[in-house]
């Protein structure tokens, strides 16, 4: 049963990322507008100044959105692939089952790069997106998914498989 739960949890990482990517595609203009808003530093009242840069350039926002989508789709791909590999190896010996965890670990890594690296580090720290309701909502969601991915991969890798 534990092996099936591990497979399902890794597949949830992939499904979660796929849902985010699909919603971003379905709301492409709104996603782009949100990034323009965050990157521009508009309405950043608490910390209005920066040592770095702000930009309302729509091309920069499209580049950022493309990178986010690549991260989301990569997380989705490896999470769903990893869930399948773990499910397929559920009756295999310990070495084979452990080897099947690789794609799930890659999915969690992409999740961390996307939601911790891009949203929390670049968006939250560099562009100070926590200062606005739009940015803060995205930042809180990113934190929840990044931490859920970490907890999942730790559970998958560091609890007994039987």
Helix (H) or strand (E) holding 105: helix 102-111
What is the residue whose two structure tokens read 């609890």? Answer: 159
What are 83-96's pLDDT values in tens digits?
Answer: 999 999 999 999 99
Q: For residue 90, what is the DSSP state?
A: T
Distance CA 17, CA 119 (A): 14
**DSSP one-letter string for 40-66:** HTTT--SS---SS-----HHHHHHHHH
Decide if pLDDT at 14 tops 90.
Answer: yes
Q: For residue 98, what is the DSSP state?
A: H
Distance CA 77, CA 7 (A): 14
> How does residue 3 score in pLDDT terms, banded at 50, 70 and 90?
very high
What's the pLDDT score for residue 161? 82
What are 124-145's pLDDT values in tens digits?
Answer: 999 999 999 999 999 999 999 9
């Amino acid at each position: 049963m534990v092996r099936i739960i591990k497979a399902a949890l890794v597949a949830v990482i992939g499904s979660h990322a796929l849902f985010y990517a699909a919603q971003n595609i379905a709301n492409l203009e709104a996603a782009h507008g949100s990034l323009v808003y965050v990157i521009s530093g508009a309405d950043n009242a608490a910390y209005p100044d920066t040592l770095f840069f702000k930009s309302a350039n729509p091309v920069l926002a499209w580049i950022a959105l493309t990178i986010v989508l690549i991260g989301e789709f990569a997380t989705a791909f490896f999470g769903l692939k990893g869930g399948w590999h773990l499910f397929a190896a559920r009756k295999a010996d310990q070495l084979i089952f452990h080897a099947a965890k690789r794609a799930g670990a890659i999915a969690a890594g992409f999740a961390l790069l996307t939601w911790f690296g891009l949203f929390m580090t670049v968006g939250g720290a560099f562009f100070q997106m926590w200062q606005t309701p739009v940015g803060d909502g995205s930042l809180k969601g990113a934190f929840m998914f990044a931490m859920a991915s970490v907890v999942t991969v730790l559970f998958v890798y560091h609890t007994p498989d039987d």
